[in-house]
Amino acid sequence: MSLLTASNLTKRYSRGGKTVAAVDDVSFAIAPGETLALAGPSGSGKSTVARLVLRLIEPDGGGIVFEGDDFLALGGTALRTRRARLQMVFQDPLAAFNPRATVARVLDDPLRIHGIAPRTERPRRIAQLLERVGLAAALAQRAIHEISGGQRQRVAIARAIATKPSLIVLDEAVSALDVSVRGQILELLLDLQREQKIAYLFISHDLGVVRAIAHRIVLLDAGRIAESGDARAVIDAPRSAIGKALVAAAPRLDRNIRQDGSSTARQS
Amino acid sequence: MSGLRRFLHTPEAVAGVVILAALFAMALSASLLFPGDPQSIAGPALLPPFQDWSLPLGTDRLGRNVLAELFHGARTSLAVGLAAAAAALAVGAVIGTLAGFAGGLIDEVLMRITDAFQTVPGFLLALAFVSVVGPSLGVVVVAIALSTWTGPARVARAEVLSIRERDYVAGARVIGMHPLAIAFREVLPNALPPVLALSSVIVAAAILTEAALSFLGLGDPNRVTWGGMIAEGRTVLRTAPFLSIVPGIALVLTVLGVYLAGEGIVETTAVKRGLS
Ligand SMILES: Nc1ncnc2c1ncn2[C@@H]1O[C@H](COP(=O)(O)OP(=O)(O)OP(=O)(O)O)[C@@H](O)[C@H]1O
Ligand SMILES: [Mg+2]
C-alpha cells in the first residue's frame, strides 16, 4: 500500500486576467521508504506540487491520501497533529529559518509542539538530533546566521526528522550547496532512509543527483506529467521530448553511482 | 559598540539625548527638589523670573512656583507621552500583524476599522473621547493612543505581508505551529523594526496632544501639565508673557529632543543593518 497518493491534482493561478494551470491533473504515489523524484524545467510546477502535498496551498481539484486518510479533509488541530508525519526541507536553508532563531530553538519547536519530549528532556533530544545529522551538540547555542550553509541544511534535516516523519519533501534541498557538501548531505539522507524507512519526495532539476538517489521519477512539463517510471530507466532512455531535452542539457551524468554500491553523488 | 560611537558622533542625536536626559532628571527629581503640592501657593502672585532666587522662574497668577510646576509638568508630559506611544505601538503592531497575517475577511474588517479611525482627525478623536469619558491621566493616555495607533498598524501590516511569504513561515506551518503562534512569535518580532522607527514621531506627537488637551482644560485636573500652564498664562499674556513662554519653550525642547534622539537611533541602527 502506498504511503501517499496524489490523484489528479490541479492548481490554477490567474495571471493577467487569464488562468494558467501551474499543476494540471498530476497523479503519483509514493511507497513507504521510497524516493520519488520530481524533475522538470523551471516553472514546470515542481514547487507547486510540493506545496500542495504539504497543504501550504490548497488545490483547485484532485485528492491526496496520506497514511490512509484523506489529507485534504483534515483541518485545524487534526491537520497540525498529522503534520508531524510529513515534513519538508527547503532549498535556501537561510530563508527557511527565522532570522532571529538559534539552532536550539529551531529544533525545540517541533519537539514542544508535538509533545515529543518534556521540557527538561529536550536539550538532550536536541543534542541527539544534532549528532544524528553529523553536527556537534555545542552548535545548539549558535544563531542560525552564525553557521555555514551546509551546517544549516543539516539542521534543517534534523528539524525534519525530529517528529519521526514517514515522508519528507525536499524541494531543491541540495541545489544551493557546493558539490562536496552536496555529496555528504545526500549520503546523510540515504542513511536516514535506510535507518528510519523515510520516504522522500525529492525535487530537483539535477538529473545526475536524481539518478543517484531516486527509485522512481516523475517528469513534469508545464504542469503536466510528461513521463514517469524507474528513475534510471527514464534518465538513461527518456521517451518524452522534455525528458530528452533535460538529459541532453544535463552535465555529464555519472552513470555508475548506484551500480557500484556507493551512494555518493559524484558529478563533474 | 561601533553603533554607539557613530551615534555619539552625530551632534543632533547627542543634543537630543542630552535634552531627554535633562527632562528625565527633571521628572525624577521633581518631588525631591520640590516636595509637596506644586499647585500650592509659594509667594506673591505674578513675580517675574530672576527676581527672587528662591523662586527663580517667578510665580503665576495665584502665586505658585513656576519652576516647581515646570518640574512636575515634565513628569506628566513624559509619563503620558511614553505610555500613550507604547500603547499605540503595541495596539498598532498587534492589529497590523493580525490583519496582514490572516488576510481575507479579517484583514478587510481590521483595515476598514483602521480607515475609519484615520479619517477622523486624531486630535478631534482624542478630544471627543476625553470629553465623554472625563479627564484623568489614564483616559488621556487611551485617548492619545486611540488617535495614533493607525500609523503603526499600517506599517506593521505592510511588513507582515512581505514576511508571511517567506520560507520560514511556511516552515513553521509545516512543523505544525499554531497560526497565532506563527503570527506573534515568528512574524511580529521580525516586523517590528520599521514600526519602532515611528516611535520618536509618535512620542513627540503624544506629548503635544497631551499639552493641547490640557490647554483646552481636558487634562487631568489633579496634575500640573505644561499645556495647562500655557493656558493659565494666556489670561495674563500681556502683563506676564513668561508664564506661557516658559512652559512653551520646555514643550518645544522636549519634542525636539525626542525627535532628534529618535532619528539618531533609527539612523544608526539602519546603518548597522545595512552593513551587516
Ligand atoms: N503564487 C503564485 N501566483 C501565480 N503564479 C504562480 C504562483 N506560484 C507559482 N506560479 C506559477 O506556476 C508555475 C509553476 O511554478 P513552480 O514554482 O511550481 O515551478 P518550479 O517547477 O518549482 O520551478 P523552479 O524549478 O524554477 O523552482 C510557474 O509558471 C509560476 O509562475
Ligand atoms: Mg521550485
ipTM confidence: 0.88
pLDDT over 80 at B187, yes or no: yes
Does the beta carbon of B166 lie under 8 angstroms from any beta carbon of chain A? yes
Asked: is B2-275 a CATH 1.10.3720.10 domain? The reply is yes
A265, A182 in Cβ contact below 8 A? yes
Instruction: Give dist(CA A253, CA A260) in Å, integer.
Output: 15
Query: Domain limits of chain B?
Result: 2-275
Strands of A199-203's sheet in order across: A86-89, A167-171, A199-203, A35-39, A216-221, A224-230
Q: Which of A56, A81, A90 is facing B176, going by the closest CB pair?
A: A81
User: Hey, are the CB atoms on B175 and A90 less than 8 Å from each other?
Assistant: no
Distance of CA A45 from the midpoint of ligand 2 (Å): 7
- Chain A residues with CB-CB distance to B under 8 A? 51, 54, 56, 80-81, 83-84, 86-88, 90, 92, 95-100, 109-110, 113-114, 159, 163
pLDDT band at B41, cuts 50/70/90?
confident
Residue B271 confidence (pLDDT): 63
What's the CA-to-centroid distance between A21 and ligand 1, angstroms?
10
| Inter-chain CB proximity A92 and B177 less than 8 Å | no
- Give me the total of CB pairs closer than 8 Å, taking one residue from chain A and one from chain B: 56
User: Which residue lies with its CA nearest to atom 31 of ligand 1?
Assistant: A43
Q: Judge whether B177 is closer than 8 Å to chain A, CB to CB.
A: yes
Residue whose CA is at the smallest distance from ligand 1 atom 5: A13
Give the distance (Å) from ligand 1 centre to CA of residue A223: 9
* Residue A43 in contact with ligand 1 by CB distance below 6 A: yes
- Comparing CB atoms, the residue among A56, A95, A113 nearest residue B177 is A113
CB-closest option in A83, A90, A163 to B167: A90
Average pLDDT over residues B40-44: 84
Taking residues B110-123, what's their average pLDDT? Answer: 92
Task: Tell me the shortest Cα–Cα distance from B167 to chain A, in angstroms.
Answer: 5
Q: Which helix (H) or strand (E) holds B253?
A: helix B242-275
DSSP A9-62: EEEEEEETTEEEEEEEEEEEEE-TT-EEEEE-STTSSHHHHHHHHTTSS--SEE
Mean pLDDT of B180-192: 93
Regions of chain A where pLDDT drops below 50: 255-268
If you measure from the C-alpha of residue B176 to the centroid of ligand 1, how many angstroms do you get, rounded to a whole number?
24
- Would you state the cell numbers that stand for residue A24, as one nine-digit string? 494540471
| Pairwise CB contact (< 8 Å): A56 & B174 | yes
pLDDT score of B88: 95
Cβ distance of B175 and A100 shorter than 8 Å? no
**Which of A109, A167, A175 is best to mutate for the B interface (most B CBs within 10 A)?**
A109
Distance A201 CA to ligand 2 centre (A): 13
Q: Which contacts of B17-23 are long-range, i.e. CB under 8 A and separated by 24 or more positions?
A: B17/B257, B17/B261, B17/B264, B18/B257, B19/B253, B19/B254, B19/B256, B19/B257, B19/B260, B19/B261, B20/B257, B20/B258, B20/B261, B23/B74, B23/B78, B23/B253, B23/B254, B23/B257
Distance B5 CA to ligand 1 centre (A): 47
Would the CB atoms of A88 and B178 count as touching at under 8 Å? no
B1 lies within 8 A of chain A by CB: no
Look at residue A35 in the predicted model and tell me its pLDDT: 96
Q: How far is A67 from chain B (nearest CA, A)?
A: 17
Q: Where do we find the cell 497523479?
A: A27
Task: Please calculate the CA angle A51-A104-A78 and round it to the nearest 5 degrees.
Answer: 40
Q: How far is A112 from chain B (nearest CA, A)?
A: 10
Task: Encode pLDDT of B153-164 as tens digits.
Answer: 999 999 999 999
pLDDT at residue A162, as a whole number: 95
The verdict on B210 touching A (C-beta cutoff 8 Å) is no
Is residue B237's pLDDT more than 80?
A: yes
Beta strand pairing call for A18-30 and A199-203: unpaired
Q: How far apart are CA B139 and CA B209, in angstroms?
A: 13
Residue nearest to atom 30 of ligand 1 (CA): A43
Question: B176, A90: Cβ pair inside 8 Å?
Answer: no
Q: Does B173 touch chain A (CB under 8 A)?
A: yes
pLDDT at B188 over 90: yes
B92 CB contacts (<8 Å, ≥6 apart)?
B148, B149, B150, B151, B152, B153, B154, B155, B156, B195
| CATH architecture classification, A4-85+165-267 | 3-Layer(aba) Sandwich (3.40)
Whole-prediction pTM: 0.83
Ligand 1 atom closest to A220 (CA): 21
Nearest CA in chain B to A75: B176
Cα(A153) to centroid of ligand 1, in Å?
A: 23
User: In chain A, which residues fall in CATH 3.40.50.300?
Assistant: 4-85+165-267
Question: How does residue B273 score in pLDDT terms, banded at 50, 70 and 90?
Answer: low
Is the CB of residue B186 less than 8 Å away from at least one CB of chain A? yes
Distance, CA of A220 to CA of A24 (rounded, Å): 10
